[in-house]
Structure 1
Amino acid sequence: MKHAVLILNGPNLNLLGTRQPEVYGTTTLADIEQMCRNKATALGIDVAFQQSNHEGALVDAIHNAIGEYHGIILNAGAYTHTSIALMDAMGSVEVPVIELHLSNIHAREAFRHHSYIAPVAIGQICGFGANGYPLAIDAMMAHLGGDT
């Protein structure tokens, strides 16, 4: 069976490349999507992408993943630290989720150290910039039992 993974990006990630490049780098979201497509092609899997600045749209995407995707890679942005709704959505679906961050959230402001996503995620990747996305795809495939 060919695996399908949803890469879900939250608020402000549409501004990657220009938003605080000293923290998030100069790679755009389109660049990251291309990196992920290249990785997916090499692994023989399908990937899809969604980005929203709206919490409810992210919740809907998680719900809609049921039966459609084998895993979700979620960069929830600031919602990581505030959204019980995202945590509840992930806990309500039987789709494994990897939490992803471009920066090392544990080396930043204290409020970023707490994640509502972590308790319902299979793991967390942070601090590797855009390279974290292909790492997350590898980790998801290892979790799903696919070759990496």
Structure 2
Amino acid sequence: MSPPLIAVLNGPNLNMLGLREPAIYGRATLDDVEQVCAQAAERLDVAIDFRQTNGEGELISWVQECRARARGILINPGGYSHTSIALMDALSAVALPVVEVHISNIHRREEFRRHSYVSHAAVGVICGLGVRGYALGLTALADIIMDEDER
């Protein structure tokens, strides 16, 4: 039996990690984040599909694809957290456990960043713990999937 697949989806500007506002987001690159996720996935005995896009429509299409192939979604929606009802709707429609992750603490930032539409579709939100939040999110999803399998 193959390990369960968790989609790790990253939204706009995350390809600029390490360059963009390092005082807020740190110096880790998206490649570093992928490595953190790969190490966590190996430890948790899950498979990951790690992707990043700057396009809202592409991100929504990837979410929709997950319904047929993934057991959970770990998503850093970037700026779409605060603007995309369409992304929230897609995440709700796939009926999979979703964990939202943010590298910075969105609640300590500008007022407009404190609201996330995506949170309405998520079972949990991890923010402010840097790139290690991805590993925590994968751990949470692996636990949720294991609980589902035991039912």
TM-score over 0.5 for the pair: yes
The equivalent residue for 2:137 is 136
The equivalent residue for 2:66 is 65
The equivalent residue for 1:98 is 99
Structure 1 alignment gaps of length 5 or more: none
RMSD, aligned CA: 1.0
Structure 2 residue identity aligned to 1:144: I
The TM-score with structure 2 as length reference comes to 0.94
TM-fit CA distance, 1:39: 1.1
The equivalent residue for 1:88 is 89
Answer 1 or 2: which has greater helix percent: 2
The equivalent residue for 1:35 is 36
CA distance in 1, matches of 2:63, 2:96: 8
CA distance in 1, matches of 2:132, 2:99: 14
Maintained 8 Å contact 2:46/2:142? no
Structure 2 alignment gaps of length 5 or more: none
| Runs of 4+ in structure 1 over 2 Å off | none
SS in 1 for 2:27: coil
The equivalent residue for 1:47 is 48
CA distance in 1, matches of 2:21, 2:144: 33
Percent identical pairs in the alignment equals: 47
The TM-score with structure 1 as length reference comes to 0.96
Equivalences, count: 146
TM-fit CA distance, 1:27: 0.3
